[in-house]
């Protein structure tokens, strides 16, 4: 049993403490940002993908994170290298990439309402990870939000059939939200 399952069991039973806080390291930018995801070296040149992935390996080997979220291609490489076999961290994969996350040169996708999209095939995810992140954004638009919920419902049924657990991230839209003066934290649940 991985540490995440122990913590979730404690949280579900109501018998948890501060050490049961779940720490997730998100390093999935290679899916969303392409070549720019790797960052730049001290001379300002783009770092190679191998350096980006070496950063992920170091975090896994430190055993400080409970969940390590990556793109499917990085998860496959880490699984092939057996990195998770030496750690208590749980591998997770970004399971959807709606259009508001697309970053293309000259593109304006983030400024538009997100259309549901999923490039990761769940049967391909299963050998590398049995946990993933599914992200949704609501826009206070019944047609848009209905399409988002229908896509999530279809995904949830498929994930259950394939045997992949997921956590749901609900993100704010790119406009001001009236919360009545209350501070709102992002929502995430594991299913």
> Is pLDDT at 175 greater than 80 in this prediction?
no
Give the residue extent of every domain in the chain. 3-190
Does residue 187 surpass a pLDDT of 60? no
What are 76-118's pLDDT values in tens digits? 999 999 999 889 999 999 999 988 888 777 888 888 888 899 9
Class of domain 3-190: alpha beta
Q: What percent of the chain has pLDDT over 70?
A: 94
Lowest-pLDDT range of 43-52, 64-73, 166-175 = 166-175
Average pLDDT, the chain: 88
Strand stretches in 20-176, DSSP E: 24-27, 67-70, 90-94, 131-137, 165-171
pLDDT for the residue 176: 75
pLDDT value at residue 188: 57
- b vs e for 143-160, b when ≥16 Cβ sit within 10 Å of the residue's Cβ? ebbeebeebbeebeeebe
State the CB neighbour count (10 A cutoff) for residue 50.
9
Query: Could you tell me the pLDDT band of residue 10, with boundaries at 50, 70 and 90?
Result: very high
**Would you say residue 32 has pLDDT above 90?**
no
What percent of the chain clears pLDDT 90, i.e. is strictly above it?
A: 63
Residue 45 CA to its chain's centroid (Å): 27
């Amino acid at each position: 049993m991985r540490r995440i399952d122990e913590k979730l069991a404690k949280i579900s039973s109501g018998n948890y403490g501060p050490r049961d806080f779940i720490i997730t390291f998100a390093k999935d930018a290679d899916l969303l940002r392409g070549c720019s995801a790797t960052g730049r070296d001290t001379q300002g040149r783009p770092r190679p993908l191998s350096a980006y992935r070496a950063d992920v390996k170091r975090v896994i080997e430190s055993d400080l994170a409970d969940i390590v979220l990556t793109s499917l291609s990085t998860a496959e490489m880490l699984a092939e290298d057996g990195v998770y076999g030496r750690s208590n961290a749980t591998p997770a994969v970004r399971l959807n990439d709606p259009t508001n996350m697309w970053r293309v040169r000259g593109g304006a996708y983030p400024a538009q309402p997100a259309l549901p999209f999923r490039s990761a095939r769940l049967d391909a995810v299963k050998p590398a990870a049995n946990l993933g992140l599914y992200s949704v954004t609501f826009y206070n638009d019944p047609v848009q939000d209905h399409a988002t919920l229908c896509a999530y419902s279809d995904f949830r049924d498929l994930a259950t059939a394939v045997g992949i657990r997921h956590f749901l991230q609900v993100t704010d839209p790119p406009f001001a939200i009236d919360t009545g003066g209350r501070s709102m934290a992002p929502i995430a649940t594991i299913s």
